[in-house]
Structure 1
Amino acid sequence: MAGAGKRVPGALHRQVRGLIEGLGISAYLFTLEERPASWRLTLEYAICSGWYKGEVELAKGRLAQAAEDEDEARALGAWLREQLPSCPPPSTPP
């Protein structure tokens, strides 16, 4: 979803879906809301044994660069991984 009544361009939707799947997340729902200089990504996803929700701002310029440059796409994916909640590390038995 892109703001009130606006549609997210198909290429952008596919790009963000690819970023999410590149994180190894297979069960998810996401929305995109257009802002003046960014897209707000709201992502609900299943990891470990529960559902988590994360929100991040994706700069339009960075998304455009990532669409054209594989290194930038990998860097954006790594940044996104750092921004979202992940599985807690397994506990170490005493």
Structure 2
Amino acid sequence: MTAPSSPPPWWAPFVPVISLIIVIAGVVLASGGYIATLKDHTRRIDQLEADARTDAKTRTEMLQQLDLRLARIEVKLEMMAPPKSEKAP
């Protein structure tokens, strides 16, 4: 006695195609997330480099201002101090 076999469901032949579509969609979504992360990291690196350039310029300007102030202070001290050729009594 053999039981009559029922026909396969109508969607059964489409299972491999549906699986392939799901896998491709997952790959596309994962690569989209990777690309977004890469763009974010690129933006952050560019911002850090710009900040570093700005900091270097600011640091150079500050050092130049300090050099000028030190030169002025040295001149004032030289004017206030007695000449070195004179000997104190």
TM-score by length of structure 2 reads: 0.22
**Which structure is higher in strand share?**
1
Higher helix share: 2
Does 1 or 2 have the higher relative contact order (CA < 8 Å, sep 6+)? 1
TM-score with structure 1 setting the length: 0.21
